[in-house]
Chain A
Amino acid sequence: MPQNTDDALVNEIDGRLDDLFAEDKTPKKADEESSDIKEYPLKELKAVILSIDWEITDDAMKRLADQVVGLKKRYKDDRIVFMLIQLLGSIGEHIRINKGKSHPDSFKFLNSLFKKLDKVVRTKGLTESEKKKILSVEVNKYKVLKDKLLPRKPVAEKGKQVKPAAKAKAEKADVLPIEAFANAMDQIRQLIRSEFKALRDELRSGKERK
């Protein structure tokens, strides 16, 4: 590369970069957000979600569960916030049970839920319909994730029947892992069912109130 003085070169590079990347300051998106950060009610929840993002420990999962309980009490009269917290608790439970083996989308969903919860709690002037829209998007994501979590029923293939003796042998060998897996799946299934029932009831009671 031809040589000039160092200063001239640095100036030239800086000039190039300034042209290409002018305007470093990003306008804050949070213009509609409440500036009352000192009383930010999701502070602890955010800290614990960041911790889980880093490492899933029993302590972090317990803190998450505690936060969910506390926030549910706090927002018991705010239906939409309450339901978002309920979803958060539900996916938190899935992660607590499965830890590192949780479905990859469950972490994305946890973060997405927190972002939406944060938006609903902090943004002043959000209309009820805007909040409902946010909730409905998250409920749909929950449904999609639920479908991924539920095991598919095995389809019996013709001509591939397992001989009873071989079957019994295989069952004997796998009895513990299969049982443990089935138990875990049952727990998840029950949890999802109960969450959905609660959500449906809430939505129904909301419509009736109107």
Chain B
Amino acid sequence: MAFINPKKKEVQVKIVYYGPGRGGKTTNLEFIYKKFSNRVKTEMVTIKTHGDRTLFFDFLPFDIGKVNGYDVKIQLYTVPGQVKYNATRRLVLRGVDGIVFVADSMMVRREKNILSIKNLQEDLANYKKSIFKIPLVLQYNKVDLSEQGIPLTSVETLQKDLNSQLKTSAFEASALKGTNVVTTMKKIISMTIATIVKELK
């Protein structure tokens, strides 16, 4: 459940970008930060390590102003995608309100996507949350690579692999070029806030 401060009339919404390593989670946040830094007016915190990989997490907080009289503060996080950082990934998921699952469209990463979404299900179960109930948006990243002849998994296959049971919103995207990065983010924020309100009813 989101952190709500009735005195201050403030709601903090935590959204986590989850997915296999090198899938483009950090690139999503970096695009948002670079493109809208003059509007979000906050700093992006990122902790990287060996070879520029996310070791702990990236963190981008921003306010979207008042909704229904409440100040809504959004916090975007990424998790380290590499398998060896299982514990860190779980820790970042604590208190999550909404998830963007960033899948890698490259054909060679098909199995990694499937494995990662299974991990997500397990990690959420650890916090007694269901992947079928939490607000979740799928993003099929790196579609731009097809222009260079790099073999990609078709959207139909990705949908079958990842979304056949979830049946949630999914977007083809290129985090590097910014295609559908903001659309994905808007969708998850909107879904998450609507869910929080419903839970409060």
Residues of A within 8 A of B155 (CB): none
Please report the C-alpha to C-alpha distance between residue A47 and residue B147 in the assembled complex, in whole angstroms: 12
Residues in B with CB closer than 8 Å to A43 are 148-150
A167 located at the interface, meaning its Cβ lies under 8 Å from any Cβ of chain B in the complex: no
A104: contacting residue among B21, B35, B51, B64, CB under 8 A = B51
B11 contacts which of A1, A4, A18 (Cβ < 8 Å)?
A: A1
Closest B-chain residue to A43, C-beta based? B149
- How distant is B143 from chain A, measured CB to nearest CB, in Å? 14
Interface of chain A residues 145 through 194 with chain B (CB within 8 A)? none
Contact A53 B186 (CB under 8 A): no
In the bound complex, what is the Cα–Cα distance between A37 and B147 (angstroms)?
7
Interface string of B165-201 (1 = CB under 8 A from A): 0000000000001111111011001100110111011
Pairwise interchain contact A51-B108, C-beta atoms closer than 8 A: yes
A1 vs B199: C-alpha distance when bound (angstroms): 11
The chain B residue with its CB closest to the CB of A18 is: B186
- Interface membership of A130, Cβ < 8 A: no
* Structural contact, A107 and B67, CB atoms closer than 8 A: no
Contact A1 B4 (CB under 8 A): yes
Alpha-carbon distance between A17 and B193 when the two chains are bound, in angstroms:
12
| Distance of A1 Cα from B69 Cα, bound (Å) | 8
Query: Contact between B67 and A9 (Cβ–Cβ < 8 Å)?
Result: yes
Residues of A close to B185: CB separation below 8 A:
21
CA distance A108 to B8 in the complex (A): 45
Given A10-B190, A17-B186, does the pair A37, B148 have CB atoms closer than 8 Å? Answer: yes
**Neighbouring B residues of A26 by C-beta, 8 Å:** 35, 177-179
Nearest CB on A from B83, distance (A): 11
Q: Please, which residue of chain A has its CB at the minimum distance from the CB of B150? A: A47
Please measure, in the bound complex, the distance between the C-alpha atom of A53 and the C-alpha atom of B62, giving whole angstroms. 31
* Interface residue? B22 (CB, 8 A): yes
* A4/B35 in contact, CB under 8 A: no
> A-B contact count, CB below 8 Å?
101
The answer to whether A14 and B149 have CB atoms under 8 Å apart is: no
Q: Tell me whether B64 and A16 are in contact (CB under 8 A).
A: yes
Report how far A1 CA is from B65 CA in the complex, Å: 14
A77 sits at the interface (CB 8 A): no
Which residues of the other chain, A, contact B52 by a CB distance below 8 angstroms? 104, 107-108
Task: Mark A57-84 against chain B: 1 for CB-CB distance below 8 A, else 0.
Answer: 0000000000000000000000000000
Q: Give CA–CA (A17, B68) in the complex, Å.
A: 14
Q: B111 CB to closest chain A CB, in angstroms?
A: 13
CB-CB nearest in chain B for A51: B108
B192 closest partner in A (C-beta): A13
Residue of B nearest to A37 (CB): B147
A residues 84-99 with Cβ under 8 Å of B? none
User: Cβ of B50 < 8 Å from any Cβ of A?
Assistant: yes
Q: Are A21 and B186 in contact (CB under 8 A)?
A: yes
Q: Is the CB of B67 within 8 A of A16?
A: yes
Do residues B148 and A46 form an inter-chain contact, with CB atoms below 8 A?
yes
Which residue in A13, A14, A18, A28 is a CB contact (below 8 Å) of B177?
A: A28
**CB pairs A–B below 8 angstroms (28 shown):** A1-B68, A1-B196, A3-B197, A9-B193, A9-B194, A10-B190, A12-B67, A13-B64, A13-B189, A13-B190, A13-B193, A14-B186, A20-B62, A20-B64, A20-B65, A21-B36, A21-B185, A26-B177, A26-B179, A28-B177, A37-B148, A40-B148, A43-B149, A47-B148, A47-B150, A50-B150, A104-B50, A108-B51
6 other A-B residue contacts (CB within 8 Å) besides A2-B69, A9-B68, A20-B65:
A1-B70, A1-B196, A3-B68, A14-B190, A16-B67, A20-B62
Listed from nearest, the 9 A-B pairs whose CB atoms lie closest are A26-B178, A107-B51, A24-B182, A17-B186, A16-B64, A21-B182, A104-B50, A43-B149, A13-B190
